[in-house]
Amino acid sequence: MSYIKYDKSQIVNLEYSLHREMIRTNRAGSFSSTTLVGCNTRKYHGMLICPVDAFGGERYVLLSTMDITVVNKEKSFNIGIRKYKGDYYYPKGHKYIEDYDVDNIPSRIYRVGGVIVKQERLFVHYEEQFLLRFTILEASEPMKLQFRPFLAFRNIHQLTHANLSANTRVEFIENGVKSKMYEGFPYLNMQFSTKAEFIPVPDWYLGVEYIEEQKRGYDYSEDLFTPGFFELNAKKGDIIVFSASTKEEKTSGLKAKFTKNMASKIPRDSFINCLRNAAQQFVEKRGGRTLIIAGYPWFGAWGRDTFISLPGIAVARHKLALYREVLDTQVGTMKNGLFPNMGDPDNPAFNSVDAPLWFFWAIQQYLEHGGTDCWELYGEAAKSILKAYKSGTGFNIHMRDNGLIYADAPGKSLTWMDAVVDGVPVTPRRGYDVEINALWYNAVCFALERAAIAKDKHFISEFKALPELIKNSFLDLFWDEKAGYLADYVNDDEGRNMFVRPNMVIAVSMPFTMLSKEQMKKVLDVVDKELVTVRGLRTLSPGNMFYKGLYKGNQEERDKAYHQGTVWPWLYGPFCEGWLRVYGSQGVQKVKKLIFGLEAVMNEHGISTLSEIHDGDPPHAPQGAISQAWSVGEVLRIIDLLAKKYANQ
């Protein structure tokens, strides 16, 4: 019995199955994604999606989907599926699916007449190659198989339409053809492990629709080009491997390559193994850089998300070398004490006040898990950040006389609550932010600790008076004794903002904290009462007049809900760590209940992974990106923490 299981009634019910999606990456920038039944519902879905260097390394959908037709006893059974206008699905191949399995790689078993076939998909590590293995399990007599590829050759954020500029010709190669629809693209090489006849029938299929884009308020209809179809003879026991790649392959090795790559997969036979598999998907090694992709299918590498997710993704999986590679890549991008938060490599955005401070926390986690050379490697970068914050850097980020960090750039959202609508931040939080100053205090204390070991007298002399100043100012500014919790932010115009948000739990979870144990307990109790759900922490208390419990609608509507009540699983990390710090072994069962309660979502949205966000209101439906790095990373980190410190609980 598979760990993640769907019965046939669920699979054929499109209301159910189209909301279950899978993602697989090559760990070098390329990925493949679709739904449980193979019907693409997003512009981000496709069989082969690759970065194209000629276009700035952005990802492009080369091969969108494939129709496979079984011709048996003069009858044709097309097991593909696409949506067209008016809720019209054609072909309706999902009705032939008998079983879906994801324990090793995504596979479907189809029954068409007297024929049973198995279709398995995988992505080759560090190569831009998608492989599909087709096995004839049962057949009373020989048959024909027809494979019709649908090409897009467009950016993942855009859609394509029939046009006269497309190069509709193909060139014949070993057991297949290659196609390049536009200049600047690599060739798409489509080949089989056995002899296949290609019948050229170039045509545009018009009006293919993506229902998730329609829900999100975006353009949702596009045209896909098919150059023709491949035809093969097949019989019971035959195994056929199809390859879609940006380089021409030796087809005699395709079967062995599939088997070899499949053998290296971690089986998705448990909650933890699913998370470990998901963690691997976020690692991108390309062009001499090692990045953590923030989420799939539409995010790139974000500085803040990298540092928060890195401990769980690397350390909890015992990959200290990976940890160093990622940190080295990030340090190489620093400018004026800031890390790029988002944007392409040629035009990065440094609009994150917290990413540089999370860098210190990431180093602390590295040390905690056995790293020994962190200050030698990253001490200079760390000191340059602190000096930049102390003297002032971009976006009006600077230390004031009270020792606290103040940041106020009009029209900008500098914290992780960064949604902007019509140029106006939804949650501006300008001024002194609670988590920024908690991170600042932790960073200064940690740097002084390491500087003392390194006997760096000059640095110690410059910063030694700051911890006490920061602590006193922080408690004076943020702590509200009557309310029993911390202000979310404070600025010169508004004073204290006492909205109950999760940012204050970061002050509880930091290795160096300014709070007493009693204060920590009060903060956690408020957060537990108003923000903790079975899927993560809400970003705003339901009792607040600005609370939005559902994340839905067009981009503006969704952005207005993004940090106004929407639940984020990654926030379990600081909350659970803080809870264990305050309650010790007595808090273990609660933490386990929260963390392992997420096992229930393994088959709900992104199959075998954790989503970016959930609705604030019950039943807390999954939303946003189907697989998010800091959701997976922080849950893995807490599981690792439980195993190391509370193994007998």
Per-residue model confidence (pLDDT) at position 449: 96
Rounded mean pLDDT, 381-410? 95
What are the extents of the domains in the chain?
8-250, 274-645
Domain 8-250 has CATH 2.70.98: yes
Digit-coded pLDDT (tens) for 165-196: 999 999 999 999 999 999 999 999 999 999 99
- 129-132-133-138 Cα dihedral, nearest 10 degrees: -170
Residue 124's pLDDT band (cuts 50, 70, 90): very high
Digit-coded pLDDT (tens) for 602-639: 999 999 999 999 999 999 999 999 999 999 999 999 99
Q: What does 397-458 look like in DSSP terms, one character per residue? A: EEE-TTS-EEE--TT---SS---EETTEESS---BEEHHHHHHHHHHHHHHHHHHHHHT-HH
Task: Report phi then psi at 173, rounded to 5.
Answer: -130, 180
503, 433 Cβ separation under 8 angstroms: yes
At residue 343, does pLDDT exceed 70? no
Amino acid identity of 228? G
Digit-coded pLDDT (tens) for 481-498: 999 999 999 998 899 999
30, 51 Cβ separation under 8 angstroms: yes
63, 51 Cβ separation under 8 angstroms: no
Amino acid identity of 90? Y
Task: Report phi then psi at 532, rounded to 5.
Answer: -70, 130
Number of C-beta neighbours around residue 411 at 10 A: 9
| Nearest CA among 604, 585, 583 for reference residue 528 | 583
Cα–Cα distance measured from residue 261 to residue 137, given in angstroms and rounded to the nearest whole number: 22
Cβ density class 491-528: b for 16+ within 10 Å, e for less? beeeebbebbbbbbbbbbbbbbbbbeeebbbbbbebbe
Angle at alpha carbon of residue 281, lines to 305 and 358, rounded to 5°: 15
- 203-72-193-280 Cα dihedral, nearest 10 degrees: 80
Cα–Cα distance measured from residue 473 to residue 591, given in angstroms and rounded to the nearest whole number: 32
Per-residue model confidence (pLDDT) at position 420: 87
Pairing of strands 31-35, 46-51: antiparallel
Residue 345's pLDDT band (cuts 50, 70, 90): low
At residue 509, does pLDDT exceed 70? yes
Note if the pTM is more than 0.85: yes
Cα Rg, the chain, nearest whole Å: 26
- List Cα–Cα distances, 264 to 239, 283, 565, in angstroms: 20, 16, 41
Digit-coded pLDDT (tens) for 399-422: 999 999 999 988 888 999 988 888
Cα–Cα distance measured from residue 578 to residue 506, given in angstroms and rounded to the nearest whole number: 8
Per-residue model confidence (pLDDT) at position 344: 59
Amino acid identity of 510? M
Rounded mean pLDDT, 90-118? 92
Question: Quick check: helix, strand or coil at residue 598?
Answer: helix
Q: What does 489-523 look like in DSSP terms, one character per residue? A: EEETTTEEE----GGGHHHHHSSS-SS-HHHHHHH
DSSP symbol at 643: H
Q: Which residues, at least 6 apart from 90, have a Cβ–Cβ distance to it below 8 Å?
A: 81, 82, 84
Cα–Cα distance measured from residue 196 to residue 89, given in angstroms and rounded to the nearest whole number: 28
Digit-coded pLDDT (tens) for 238-290: 999 999 999 999 999 999 999 999 888 888 999 999 999 999 999 999 989 99
Digit-coded pLDDT (tens) for 205-221: 999 999 999 999 999 99
Per-residue model confidence (pLDDT) at position 315: 78
Cα–Cα distance measured from residue 183 to residue 203, given in angstroms and rounded to the nearest whole number: 20
Cα–Cα distance measured from residue 504 to residue 438, given in angstroms and rounded to the nearest whole number: 8
| Nearest CA among 296, 368, 325 for reference residue 630 | 296
Structure tokens at 219: 């353009």
At residue 136, does pLDDT exceed 80? yes
Percent of the chain with pLDDT over 70: 98
Domain spanning 274-645 has what CATH number? Answer: 1.50.10.10
| Nearest CA among 454, 614, 641, 452 for reference residue 538 | 614
